[in-house]
Amino acid sequence: MQYHQLEVSGERCLTATRDSTTYDLTSADEDLRTFGDLARVAGIARIPIDRLAAELTENADVVDQEFVDQHTTVPVDAEEVWAAGVTYQISEQAREEESSMPDMYYDVYDADRPEIFFKATPSRTVEPGDAIGVRDDSQWDVPEPELGIVLRRGEIVGYTVGNDVSSRSIEGENPLYLPQAKVYDRCCSLGPCVVTPD
């Protein structure tokens, strides 16, 4: 199923889309307003998220997809967004070409431990359709489409898409400037939805 968090008149609600029909899960249970609420309740009940949502759809209002598109906000309320770097061979070549210190990256691609870095807090994350941020002290900035993994207590409960906006000129100047190149106002976008593993 696909799950969207909506914001309507200052209130949050959660929808689930199955077989081209979208259901307002909050109309079936007013305590379920976010994907996190749904994942928490499913965890307590020890049932899959999609099974709980399917049960809720029996008493949920059907909503139009256009309404969902107009009111979609971030798909998950993540306290923190973390990212994995140096994940593709093509990025290895690019980093070596872009960096003033390419030797720094050689061992990372073959190491057992991945490069993991802090990306954003909720206040730095934008929703679908919102403008991303670009640093004015950087001459080269790029969008980086990413697969987002949604975790609850260390378990994968869904996937989303994201944009890890990066200031390449800052990072290329010195790899130790990575936090400045990656973490700033509106540096991350998520969504529009969460899709469960099934």
The share of the chain scoring above pLDDT 70, in percent, equals 88
| pTM to 2 decimal places | 0.86
Query: Is residue 94 very low, low, confident or very high in pLDDT (cuts 50, 70, 90)?
Result: low
Domains of the chain by start residue, with CATH? 2-71 (no CATH), 81-195 (3.90.850.10)
Output the pLDDT for position 92.
64
Identify the CA nearest to 184 among candidates 129, 125, 98: 125
Distance CA(23)–CA(110), nearest Å, equals 46
Token pair recorded at residue 4: 């969207």
77 residue type, one letter? D
pLDDT > 80? residue 133? yes
Distance CA(25)–CA(129), nearest Å, equals 23
pLDDT > 90? residue 144? no
Token pair recorded at residue 6: 């909506």
SS3 state at 36: helix
Half-sphere exposure of residue 57: CA atoms within 13 angstroms, side-chain side: 19
Q: Which residues pair with 130 in a beta bridge?
A: none
Could you read off the pLDDT of 8-62 as tens digits, one per residue? 999 999 999 999 999 999 999 999 999 999 999 999 999 999 999 999 999 999 9
